[in-house]
Amino acid sequence: MVMEENCTPGTGSDNPAIAGSSGIISEAALAHAPALTERNLREYGIPLQQAIEKFETWWSSMAGVTSGLKPRFVVDGQASMRQCLHPEACNKDIELPEHYNYFHDLRKDFVECYSSHGELSTLGVQEMLQYFGMPSDTDNDFHVKEIQDMVNVIQRMIKDGHIFKNPEVINIILEPGICSKDEEVDNDCVVRARGLPWQSSDQDIAKFFRGLNVAKGGVALCLSPMGRRNGEALVRFINKEHRDMALKRHKHHMGARYIEVYKASGEDFIGVAGGTSGEAHAFLSRGAQVIVRMRGLPYDCVAKQVLEFFQSGQKPCQVLDGEDGVLFVKKPDGRATGDAFVLFAKEEDAVKALSKHRDCIGSRYIELFRSTTAEVQQVLNRATDPKQVILPPPPIAQLPPLLPQHIITSGTRKDCVRLRGLPYEALVEHILEFMGEHSKNIVYQGVHMVYNAQGQPSGEAFIQMDSEASAYACATQRHHRYMIYGKKQRYIEVFQCSGDDMNLVLTGAVTPPSTKALLSPGTLTTQSPATLTHPPAPTPVPVPVPAAQPPPPPSPLWDIHALVQAQAAQAVQAQAQVAQAQAAQAQAIRNQDLWLMALASNPSPTSTTHSPTSAVAAAAAAGAPTRQTLRFFMPRRQARQQRRRPRRLRRLRHFCSLTFPIIPVFLFCGHQRRMGC
């Protein structure tokens, strides 16, 4: 039986506007509706659950005609069943009857029946009618016309002897499977999903791709160097057709998060899910329905304690095959890691087992997570690899700025701009207002705010434009323009960049190209005028700058281990430069103190009045101070005057501020701290 039969109420009524007990939307309304609008949905639409129940009720009323057979749906292409009905029912927690898992693709059956070499993606009902030389229905409108045309095509195919015998199947349950390192995986069957919640399991990922058939053991959760899930997964489908439909779910939502879906290679999947351990293969071949990972076990824990842990409490459960259903993860030298995997035969047992999350064995609380065969292989491969080094998690201060939820687009096309100097309170709407007419060239969801490791705004943002020309025009016309936020007025730096530049800057893998320092309005230049004829300030001790190390090669964004090493090297280099700069500044302050002491305590012998002019002349005659120790011989009277130096220092400071407008603050700060002025 085909789906279009449900468009006929079957109640004997000749009035097409009356749906009767069939629960079908009025054909009169459909005939006059040129398109599906919000008004149509509000006036004639019903909830999906109610529509399914009414269809099942109508089908049951046809038992005298159908002889109790299950309906078989025929659809034009697979999108309506795989991409619409099943995902929507899953999102709304609607359990579809079993016969909704089988359907016939009219396009495939047409090609099979008539050996047509046309492309399925372009083959439609109208092309089928043209092949038969049949006219299209003109009496109806909306989807009633499409259904009537499908009826005509199906009747013609049945008349020509075609039998609809090989239905398409939608797998609801994700079957476990084992993948070895020697297995070949088609590159056209694998996708990479990013942005997953860290607590998501393989069943959650399979539910996200509901309607598409995932291969056995086809969900591989990616782990960080610390052995924790990093929000990515590799998914393997049964064929390229299902992989292509999975790519169309890019940025669909899992709960409150949207998931990015990209192409991946078979080597990527084998690298994560493949294993060579015979012990793991024997463990995973026991036919368990669910695998649970235990973390935080005592190092001396044995399988008997694990069995007692799950058999105790208010919800006891049985481990599959007893002690043989427990696999401890050990290091190459045989020491325990505190992790283990446990097998359960039924889904009900797994639910009871996971309810013991954070219960204790001895004095240690145990963490429980639903796991996969790929995760078992991945954890054992890392644990038994003597070259694998697991670093402890770095402190928060070493973390790079937090990325937006999804990784910025990659590539060398300079179709992006970088904004720097934003107010910390600025939001996306303020950025759009600042962009002005250029905001119309921003791609959908193309504004990405950047946050630091503490989750606070960093004052930067990246924007994806629709072309390189748009990015260039925006960077040229909006650079150093002012953004007004409340009482704040900040000028914003706008640079053109590429997706790769964004990723490298955000992850801290390389340093951005050095540019000339930009001074805020009113900041004095660091170079003195060329016309300055007075004695210059003492030359500071040159700071020894270590040889610049080449930046580490950019590593993949999900390689946290390489990222931590690169950040640690940069932190050590930065600390060394800061320490050397501080030492040089302290030495310069000491030299300047000696110079001021010479000016204040050695008056000119030909004059008893210490005028500012004579003091400067003496300083010019003395020249710049050296690093040798200066010795002073002062009589008692001059020593008493030494204690009254603050007044002379104030006069000297006033004079120097008029003569040397660049250096007064730098010269006197350290001296006043030492002299208590």
Are the CB atoms for 242 and 191 separated by under 8 Å? no
Query: Which tokens hold the place of 624?
Result: 């710049």
Task: Give the pLDDT band (50/70/90) at residue 288.
Answer: confident
**Residue 431 scores a pLDDT above 50:** yes
**Residue 619 scores a pLDDT above 70:** no
Task: Give the pLDDT band (50/70/90) at residue 495.
Answer: very high
pLDDT of 578 reads: 77
Domain-wise residue ranges, the chain? 24-170, 190-273, 278-384, 416-507
**Residue 598 scores a pLDDT above 60:** yes
Query: Which tokens hold the place of 593?
Result: 């103190």
Cα-based torsion angle of the residue sequence 291, 295, 297, 299 in order, rounded to the nearest 10 degrees = 110
pLDDT of 450 reads: 84
Which tens digits make up the pLDDT trace of 382-418? 887 765 544 444 444 444 444 444 444 567 788 899 9
For residue 193, list its beta bridge partners.
233, 261
Query: Which tokens hold the place of 123?
Result: 């083959």
Three-state DSSP state, 106: helix
pLDDT of 223 reads: 87
Among 392-401, 486-495, 576-585, the least confident range: 392-401
DSSP secondary structure letter of residue 216: E
Residue that the structure tokens 């001074």 belong to = 519
336, burial (CB in 10 Å: exposed 0-12, middle 13-18, buried 19+): middle
Share of the chain above pLDDT 70, in %: 66
184, burial (CB in 10 Å: exposed 0-12, middle 13-18, buried 19+): exposed
DSSP secondary structure letters along 184-204: ---GGGEEEEES--TT--HHH
Are the CB atoms for 100 and 85 separated by under 8 Å? yes
Chain-centre distance of CA 559, in angstroms? 13
Question: Regarding predicted confidence, which is higher, 408 or 352?
Answer: 352
CA atoms lying within 13 Å on the CB side of residue 583: 10
pLDDT of 476 reads: 92
pLDDT of 328 reads: 94
**Residue 182 scores a pLDDT above 60:** yes
Q: For residues 269 and 220, what is the distance between their CA atoms, to the nearest angstrom?
A: 7
The one-letter amino acid at 130: Q
**Residue 258 scores a pLDDT above 70:** yes
If one counts every other C-beta atom within 10 angstroms of the C-beta of residue 158, the result is 12
Return contacts of 556-562, CB within 8 angstroms, 24+ apart.
557/403, 557/407, 557/503, 557/507, 558/222, 558/224, 558/230, 558/232, 559/225, 560/224, 560/225, 560/226, 560/230, 561/224, 561/225, 561/391
Among 31-35, 60-64, 588-592, 652-656, the least confident range: 31-35
**Residue 326 scores a pLDDT above 90:** yes
**Residue 620 scores a pLDDT above 60:** no
**Residue 354 scores a pLDDT above 80:** yes
Q: For residues 383 and 223, what is the distance between their CA atoms, to the nearest angstrom?
A: 13
Query: Which tokens hold the place of 100?
Result: 């909704």
Among 147-156, 274-283, 507-516, the least confident range: 507-516
Task: Give the pLDDT band (50/70/90) at residue 281.
Answer: confident
Q: Which CATH superfamily is domain 24-170 in?
A: Ribonuclease H-like superfamily/Ribonuclease H (3.30.420.10)
Q: For residues 499 and 510, what is the distance between their CA atoms, to the nearest angstrom?
A: 14
CATH level 3 topology of 416-507: Alpha-Beta Plaits (3.30.70)
Indicate the class that CATH gives domain 190-273.
Answer: alpha beta
Q: Which CATH superfamily is domain 278-384 in?
A: RRM (RNA recognition motif) domain (3.30.70.330)
**Residue 564 scores a pLDDT above 90:** no
Q: For residues 136 and 617, what is the distance between their CA atoms, to the nearest angstrom?
A: 106
108: phi > 0 → left, psi -120 to 50 → alpha, else beta; which? alpha
pLDDT of 291 reads: 92
Three-state DSSP state, 44: helix
Integer-rounded Cα radius of gyration of the chain:
38
pLDDT of 638 reads: 61
Question: Regarding predicted confidence, which is higher, 582 or 366?
Answer: 366
Chain-centre distance of CA 22, in angstroms? 47
Across the beta sheet with 190-194, what order do the strands follow?
Answer: 214-223, 229-237, 190-194, 257-263, 252-254
**Residue 7 scores a pLDDT above 50:** no
Are the CB atoms for 269 and 220 separated by under 8 Å? yes
Share of the chain above pLDDT 90, in %: 31
The mean pLDDT value of the chain amounts to: 75
Query: Which tokens hold the place of 631?
Result: 């010795």
> Hey, do 190-273 and 416-507 end up sharing a CATH topology, with the first three levels equal?
yes
For residue 168, list its beta bridge partners.
103
Q: For residues 614 and 605, what is the distance between their CA atoms, to the nearest angstrom?
A: 11
Within 8 A by CB and 6+ apart from 522, the residues are none
Q: For residues 355 and 130, what is the distance between their CA atoms, to the nearest angstrom?
A: 60
Angle formed at CA 253 by CA 251 and CA 255, multiple of 5 degrees: 155
pLDDT of 528 reads: 39
Among 204-213, 405-414, 586-595, 599-608, which range has the highest average pLDDT?
204-213
Which tens digits make up the pLDDT trace of 23-70? 344 444 444 445 567 777 777 788 999 999 999 998 888 866 667 688
pTM of the predicted structure, to 2 decimals: 0.52
231: phi > 0 → left, psi -120 to 50 → alpha, else beta; which? left
